[in-house]
Structure 1
Amino acid sequence: MKSKITTLINKYIFVFVLVTFFSSTKTFGQIGFPTYGGFSQICAGGSIPTPPFIFNSYTINFTFTTANTYVLEMSDANGSFATLTGITILSSQLATSPGSFTFRVPTTTAGQSYRFRVRGVSPAETGPQSSPAIAAYYKSHNIDFTLNGGVSPLNVCSSGSFLLLIDNGPLSNDSPVDFPALKYRWKKNGVFVPGETGSSLSINSSGDYQAFIDYGDCSTFDDGQIEKSAKVTVNIAATGSTFTIASSGGNTICPSSPTTLSVDAGYQYQWSRDGVAISGATANTYVTGQAGSYTVVVNQGCLSTSAPFVLSTTGFNSSIDVQQEPLVNIIAAGETKTITVTTDAASPTFEWYLNGALIPLATTNSYSTPDVGHYKVKIRQTTGCDVTKEYLFELKEGINPKEVPNLISPNDDGKNDTWILPQEYINATTEVLIISPQGNVDLQTVNYQNDWPIKEIVFKSTNPVYYYIISKDGSPVKKGSITIIK
């Protein structure tokens, strides 16, 4: 009897295992696990390819049992498919199993835990995820770079900390700092400096320093890595002298009469304006007519940085009574618009331009015109400091903004139930756009019929506020809000 019971129990266990197995594999019965076609990580891209060349083309293989329309999906950097990485399919083979997709990753790819899966569209079927997860990075910068002008050794004064900086090159995208999303790893004497991931490093001790772009598992963080700086030897020397900048023209100058900035002679120099090194400014003097905050680094066996010297330029005050570009000034058909400039410039002259051409005889501080277009007025101070200012503005034919109601009460009492616009806003070239408090488009139309709100508005604890934009020929002419009250 005991034997029969045991046999019966074993049969139920076997049936349970089979049912469990088939139910657990049903979802992925037609699509096999994606496999990586010859890669264990994705180290793609590069703004300036140099040997060894890095390409952006990878292949995923998978098996399937029935014909379908298959798509390849790549997770986010954490392995979640709730948010997909926007890969680009270069080619695919989906006619017979095993199938394949060849793809490239976007320039924003950066993370350690990406996964892939294949999904059938019709009928709908989602395949299993690839395993293991892989690192994937797009190398937006893939050449070496320099620190602090490539100078080594650097002699630094011991009076405070010194900043190692990744150099910003003269061309677009020739320096890693042109890619703000990049992170870095720094080494001192071959050992990582903990917690430092930015494009600069503040130091206060001697040593050999080097920066590496952090591409996760796509990095080696050694001399074999392409995306690294040259090593810089920093020597902390005795505190140097204090240097003070003098200006031949004082703190305020005229751009047409530059001043000479100077410090003590006999050392090596690098001048900076507003924190940016000035190319070629390596003497103890620097001639400039440009406003800014100037400093000079003096190398006297150690480096000393002067206190900032703020230089401002002599100018004049002025204003114009129209909106400046990119805003637009609307005039009615046939309307003559008068534009006036107000200024305290000494002995000013005025030049007016329409669409880049000088307007003859327009030489006063005001100009009247019925013509639309892009205008410029140039004001020049001719007595004392010769300084010029410009204003750019556009005149465009349309409708002038009229009074628009900002409060309605749709309570069916026959008074103020709908949003009523002036007739000038009701035509085929004027668009009315109304946005709900949640940011959704509630109405978008031309030839508005003064019938909004079309559907009932639900009141909660507060009176809802909607927002509107009225545009003429694609240019906004009126914006505001509409408060709904009971």
Structure 2
Amino acid sequence: MNNKLNLSSCVIVLLLLISFQEVIAQRTIGRPLLIDERDNERNAACATQAQNSFIFIASLSPGDALPSGNEFIFELSDPDGSFDTGQNRELGRIDRPNNGTTTTQEIRIEGIALPTDVNSDFYRVRVRTTEAGIQSQPSDDIAMHYFDTRLRVILNNRNDVFVCNSTTINETITVTMRDDMGNAVDPNQFDWIWFRDGALITGASGPSLQVTTEGTYRASIPFGLCQPFYTANGSAGNSNNVDVILLDQDAVTVSTPSPDFSYCPEETKVLISSEQDSDFSYQWYKDGEPIAGAIAPTITLPLNNFQGEYYVEVQFGNEGCTLQSTPPTIVTNEGSSITQELPENLIILPNEIITLEVLTDAPDGSPFRWRVNTNVQEQGIVSGPSLTYVIDDGIVGEYRVEIDANDPCDSRLFSETEIFAPVNFDITIGTTGENLCSEDTVQLELLEMQGRTNTGFLVPLTPEQLNFFDFEWYRDGVPLGETSLSLTVDRSDSGGNYQLRANFRGPEFGETISNNLPISFVADDIELTVTPESLPEDGSPVTITAPFDSNYTYEWYIIVDGEEQLIAGENENTLQTNQEGTYFVRISSLICTADSLPVTVGIPSGPSEIIPNVISFNGQAFRNWTLPQSMLSDGTVEVIIYDSRGREDLRTTNYQNNWPTENSRTGGKDAVYYYIITKNSTVLRKGSITVMR
């Protein structure tokens, strides 16, 4: 009996030992946790460019040692928490603990950097082994967001939206983004939420918003549980506010601090726009004409000649919404004015007699006086609208006329000028008209002649004072015998440098020479040369050359996807490049600007099928441009044809030998076209097509 008990006991112990060993061998990994530096569990990982290091842990149950090469991989789910969509990503891995143990161990991985595109509250993390076939259950939801707080979110270029001359609003406001270097960042890579007057706009999730209602709008990147973190970091991910305002047609009015708009000349006369904002643009008008320099929301009227009809135009924002104050404000003068004042400054030439004149509406019998350098030189009473003073002694200095008007305001009117003696003169010549390259002749003329004082101050001469000089035109330093104030230059004289010289009819001054004006016409059919004709196989560049003229300036461009792209820093008549593409140069002179014909830089052509470079037009129909059969009806072969200005004329796959009869933007009217044929983005052939007529 005892033997049976001993045998049973042995069996039971053996079974218990086997069961215990199986438990040890079947090790498991618990759900991973996100923790902070104090080992407190967290439910959100909020990362920036300056703060992107996180700690994850998981528990490893007791058991046998794992293979020595085993690693524990922390995997990230897709944004919805699923590991079944093929979007799993590795966050990091660690090679310990792999030792056997009878107690629970911690798998701890530190310094985990979140991918820069994470933006969801529903990520999950799991842990799996590389050798032992163990995989944990997914963690609970963990919010993970990354945002570079240096990115600026700019709504509507920081401009408010003003709608005028309309009863409804239909505007689009758009988010743009810039990095800390000012480079554009694509806002489409982010999700967006929109707010109006602080309330969430449901259904709006893109970087643009169609607006139909007034209000204050803002766009934000949704950061879920990380929103408080990013808000504390300088409101990261939030745009500026944009006000959308529907303006009433009568929104702009004009007021004055005075009781009304009737003034005496010596009163302070201020007109004020009802709209006061430094972001708005203003222009004041008097009697329908813009007032020079009156571009502020207020205007102070002058002493003289201030009566008239005034209004202000206010441009709201940058979109051309402009309203005018209506009706015009009628300003009246209860006193008198000097209706034509003295010129601001004048030059007096040797032996010249100058007559100063003002016009006034002061009543006859009003006293007046002329002062020279504060001393009264002449006085009398007003009789008629004109008051004059003759300068025949060459005295320079300040000249002033004063009128004590016998009117209800007892107006004290004045006008003053300063007379200067020149020490020499400046002459400026130029052309009339713009972009004159297509003209057969160019008109040169005297634009301005100024007297220079001993302090360097410049005062324009009057047309009458030009009669004190003899003029002559020069080309490349050679007199032309032309003595008028203008000169006609023919296209055949292109390339010359012109000057106008003036000699005062007296011994007091030497010869005055104008600025040098180079006149160079730019042809509209300039051809470029490429040396060598195609890109060498060793990778060395080709040189593209335009005609040289010292009076030209050059800007080189490459055409990319039909768009002109300036090649920065290239301003000579030659360009070296080892990049395939279509190039042209923009040539400017003082009188015009023109583009060269484009030229294509490509690789040498090997033995290949023939592609025609000439098509014909018989006056009624084209003989179309035909490609080899191998390039037809192939969706991977793209054909791009540019016109003579480098603008895209055709872009297509599956070319059907039907250009230019069909699909030509220009209708085949140009004399020369240029083509690029690519297959899977690799250039097959490039060349030109001449249209024979």
Q: Give the TM-score category using the shorter length.
A: 0.3 to 0.5
Q: Which structure would you say has the larger Rg?
A: 2
Structure with bigger strand share is 2
Structure with the larger RCO, 1 or 2 (CA within 8 Å, 6+ apart)? 1
The normalised TM-score by structure 1 is 0.46
